[in-house]
Amino acid sequence: MKKYPEEKIIAILKEVEAGAKVAETCRKYGISDATYYNWKTKYADLELSELKRLRALEEENNKLKRIVADQALDIQALKYVIGKKVLKPEVKRRIVNDMRKSFGLSINRSCKLCRISRTSYRYISRRTDDGPIIEKLTELAQKKRRYGCRRLHEILRREGLVVNHKKTERLYRKAGLSLRIKKRKKLSGALRLSLPTPSRSNQIWAMDFVSESLASGRRFRCLNIIDLYTRECIRIVVDSSINGARVAKTLDMLKELRGLPETIITDNGSEFTSKAMSIWTGANNVNIAFIRPGKPMENGFIESFNGKFRDECLNEQWFTSLNDARVKIEAWREEYNERRPHSSLGMRSPREFAQATENQRDSVA
């Protein structure tokens, strides 16, 4: 039997209403009497305009049903994502794949729900295997436990393993190597004296003492002497007791090795204000610049060095005797001068910086 559209069915019913006989009309259009009466029950009171309006309402209703169904599916898919930390693209890609598999969503809808572009979703990483670099980075971090990311990056760069510092930072975080940094005490905003700024090496030195103990509990002292221009640690004297005469003797030894500076910055400790040091400074024409009592920040360079010395050497070592302490501290001093990257020197060691400065002056001369 031929299938008629609804508009044609209404037209056929109108013919019968206009006076045509049912049997002739059924024969004319090839339908049975039962079909005609079914049509009449369904469409008898409908006009063509009403039919169109009814069809539009049905289409709109179906459309709304689809929208509600889609929204319900989206909500269900989003509930699946809740509780997952979806930040990185690789995680989002995995979530999109899970949503497509679990809920039958299209790529487009899944990407919209996860807020990732289809380009990013289809991206195939060309990143090389970082396993060897992470292994080397972890090994260095275990050896140099107080080295941060920047210094570890400089060591890797020197060995030719990495070039970009951002890659080192990413791998550093991925390996969970971030240092636990102690919160600094908030300093007063009072006016401070400006630190002297040297223009060449061997112009201004700074001295200070650091105290530590052996494994037996016996205390010992370290006299630290640094060059403010190159940041080089000139000498670390280790002994159970160091008085003013010992300080003067150490400076005489350095005088023979490399000469003396114009100025030495110290605090007001009894060793530096002693009679022996007063006689020595007068005899050698060296100015001793004492900082104000209770103002260690006025000798900031040596205080910064002392912090690194304690953090990277004293806190990391176990000293069984004075001789053991001298050997280990001297080894650290050599590494500090020769290989340790220094942020204020452009990630060069003090010895590298001193050599570069000397070469520059030779070329100018």
- CATH code of the domain covering residue 328: 3.30.420.10
Give dist(CA 269, CA 277) in Å, integer. 11
Domain-located, residue 160: yes
210 plus 345 within the same structural domain:
yes
93 plus 146 within the same structural domain:
no
Find the domain containing 38 and state its range: 6-46
Q: Assign residue 186 a region: left if phi > 0, alpha if psi is -120 to 50, beta otherwise?
A: beta
Domain-located, residue 87: yes
279 plus 138 within the same structural domain:
no
Task: Look at residue 113 in the predicted model and tell me its pLDDT.
Answer: 79
Task: Look at residue 77 in the predicted model and tell me its pLDDT.
Answer: 66
- Rounded to two decimals, what is the model's pTM? 0.60
113 plus 142 within the same structural domain:
no
Own/partner pairs, 354-358, CB within 8 angstroms, 24+ separation: 354/201, 354/230, 354/232, 357/200, 357/201, 357/230
Domain-located, residue 188: no
229 plus 355 within the same structural domain:
yes
286 plus 229 within the same structural domain:
yes
Domain-located, residue 232: yes
Copy the structure tokens of residue 92.
């989002």
84 plus 219 within the same structural domain:
no
Q: How many domains are contained in the chain?
A: 4
Domain-located, residue 197: no
**Helical pair 6-17 and 48-81, crossing angle rounded to 10 deg:** 150
- Distances in Å between the Cα of 255 and the Cα atoms of 22, 148, 243, 261, 280 are 131, 35, 19, 9, 12
Q: Which of 25, 7, 8 is nearest to 16 (CA)?
A: 25
61 plus 106 within the same structural domain:
yes
Domain-located, residue 183: no
32 plus 108 within the same structural domain:
no
pLDDT tens digits in sequence order for the chain, 365 residues long: 457 777 777 777 777 777 787 778 888 787 888 887 887 777 766 665 566 666 777 777 777 777 776 677 667 666 666 555 556 788 888 888 888 888 888 888 888 878 888 898 888 877 778 888 888 888 888 888 778 888 888 888 888 888 788 989 888 888 888 776 665 554 434 334 455 678 889 999 999 999 999 999 999 999 999 999 999 999 999 999 999 999 999 999 999 999 999 999 999 999 999 999 999 999 999 999 998 888 888 888 999 999 999 999 999 889 999 999 999 999 999 999 999 998 888 889 999 998 888 888 777 65
Domain-located, residue 182: no
DSSP state of 228: T
Domain-located, residue 213: yes
212 plus 336 within the same structural domain:
yes
338 plus 219 within the same structural domain:
yes
Task: Look at residue 187 in the predicted model and tell me its pLDDT.
Answer: 45
Boundary (domain end) residue, out of 122, 153, 185:
122
User: CB–CB of 290/268 below 8 Å?
Assistant: yes
53 plus 159 within the same structural domain:
no
Give dist(CA 346, CA 204) in Å, integer. 20
Give me the helices (H) in 144-274, please. Answer: 149-158, 165-174, 244-258
Q: Which of 176, 189, 192, 183 is nearest to 142 (CA)?
A: 176
